[in-house]
A and B are shown apart, each in its own frame.
Chain A
């Protein structure tokens, strides 16, 4: 993992001291809210429905046991004993008081964390594949590059007052687990003639105008990465729409000018910018690569694992659902579900955080990851340790075998917390998960991604859910629109709107009818929901969702 150098430490200390002064001046009345708001947002502090909310970056989703333990400490000391992991690999504390925030930021700095650029019209926390450095299908670990982008984008003088926020995601695998096609810039590592480089995708985004990103270059040599990114952001920074907040994101710029024109402008800019890079970025990258070197994997017997797998059906179900293929023999990637049926997706208590920190330290080379799907990953676990890990997870309600299943739902905080929300998300997720748990159907249903947003800003990625749910305010009542057939991977697609929205109490029965229809219509258990949808399209599912419309037409 990356370790702060003296520059990083003093940079964070200086920023924290500045913010402490700003908070003091706000409290004593020297600063108005209009003056203070941009300052607090630069440091990740929002004011939500019931309280302030502090959004802390977990760069490219990586943290160690000590960092996780410190998040637990913060949750206990200054919050209500829990934190909320988000779809952009941040953690949000929902209840801090203004006067305590400088102390929280200092506590974060102790473990080399901060909340800088988790808000505002800046380049936000760089996200990455949550299996980075561990996945069997990976070309290379994308995190050194993600760290390079983080260093470059943090406090970059050209990019502090942009038309709107800007999000970058990177994956080191051709299998996209980082939703790169729904980011302002997505980077997907690819190989050409045996050399690793990047497919660069630009102008993706969800929100009120969902767009799948377009490929601006299908192979960018790694050494050109920063000057090329700088050229893209620079072009958008100049021609992006500052006149209209809703048209300011780069997806609109790409849409209005066309990808060919954007490519031409970026190439033109690149010819100037490239020369300003002296090569220091590549020296830094080489240093980061050393810091992210894979741990030493050992060869040992996995007989204990095999015994437990054959003898314990609960353990077996968990393994079948929550493990992913690791690049090293005898190892697995463990996804810890923090979505026990009925719990709030993405929330972890301080006790749960401490247990996960302990497990990372004891069994997982001191590494943890946060996924955009709001779960926690132990990326490097030897199979022989899995029975002990599973037993420990059970003690804190963390052993739910539902990764990738219908109850592994992405949900934004919605109107339970968020000042922007138009309806609640969390209770919808809770009800769907509980309902299908009662039916004992989710393993039969198989892979199915439900994603829920409580407003059109789409933090819950509903556009790219196999089943997407969008909560709206219709004449003062919560109402939920359903989209179908969305895809968040390398074959990304925006889902199709199914029809009129549902009242809150009609929604779960509608989802149940939809799933029943899928079980009827699939060719077999091997055909996942999304595959059935691609084969037969929207119409049969529409019949299931709106039976009364069919009856009326008959």
Chain B
């Protein structure tokens, strides 16, 4: 039996700024909390294809695992945690920035 599908979010880097972005229902956001949670495998695959087609906006699109507790969303792997916050040696990157819609 195949592994049950776990919740996912489509993520990428912004073409111009290079920073980490997440797909929303209508575009892309910079805060994981605003991302569209994908609970169905077929729908996730479709959203991944849709994200990957936006070649003039985003780079390196893929599906990342997330954990959903009620309405809260957290990363499951430490690499995604760093992508969602920024480096640990300086308060740079997302941890120092405000929420901002991209598209």
- Listed in ascending order, the chain A residues whose CB lies under 8 Å from chain B are 26-29, 32-33, 47-52, 80, 94-99, 344, 347, 415-417, 424, 426-427, 430, 473, 476-478
Chain B contact surface mostly: loop
Q: A32-B55, A95-B92 in contact; A49/B82 too (CB < 8 A)?
A: yes
Which residues from 40 to 62 on chain B have a C-beta closer than 8 Å to any C-beta of chain A?
A: 55-56, 59-60
Min CB–CB distance A149 → chain B (angstroms): 32
Whether A47 lies near B18 (C-beta < 8 A) is yes
Rounded to whole angstroms, the CA-CA distance of A473 and B77 in the bound complex is: 10
Instruction: Identify 29 residue pairs between A and B in the complex whose beta-carbon atoms are under 8 Å apart, listed by A's number.
Output: A26-B15, A27-B16, A29-B56, A33-B15, A33-B60, A47-B13, A47-B18, A48-B18, A50-B83, A50-B87, A50-B92, A94-B92, A96-B18, A97-B17, A98-B15, A98-B17, A344-B90, A415-B82, A416-B82, A416-B89, A424-B82, A424-B88, A427-B88, A427-B89, A473-B79, A476-B76, A476-B77, A476-B78, A477-B78
Residues of B bordering A, CB below 8 Å: 13, 15-20, 55-56, 59-60, 76-79, 82-83, 86-90, 92-94
Please tell me which one of the listed residues B17, B56, B87 contacts residue A417 in the complex, with CB atoms under 8 A apart: B87
Report yes or no: B60 in contact with A50, Cβ–Cβ below 8 A.
Answer: no
Q: Which of A47, A49, A99, A478 has the most CB of B within 10 A?
A: A49
- Whole-angstrom distance between the Cβ of B6 and the nearest chain A Cβ: 13
Contact A50 B55 (CB under 8 A): no
Q: How far is the CA of A415 from the CA of B79 in the complex (A)?
A: 7
Query: Would A49 and B92 be within 8 Å (CB), given that A33-B59, A415-B79, A417-B87 are in contact?
Result: no
In the assembled complex, the CB of B84 is this many whole angstroms from the nearest CB of chain A, namely 10
- Chain B residues with Cβ below 8 Å from A51 are 17-19, 93
A47 touches B87 (CB 8 A): no
| 14 additional A-B residue pairs with CB within 8 Å, beyond A29-B55, A47-B59 | A28-B56, A32-B55, A48-B18, A49-B79, A50-B86, A51-B18, A51-B19, A96-B18, A97-B16, A97-B17, A99-B16, A415-B82, A424-B82, A476-B76
Does the CB pair A478–B89 fall under 8 Å? no
A49 to chain B: closest residue by CB: B83
Q: Which residues of A contact B93 (CB under 8 A)?
A: 50-51
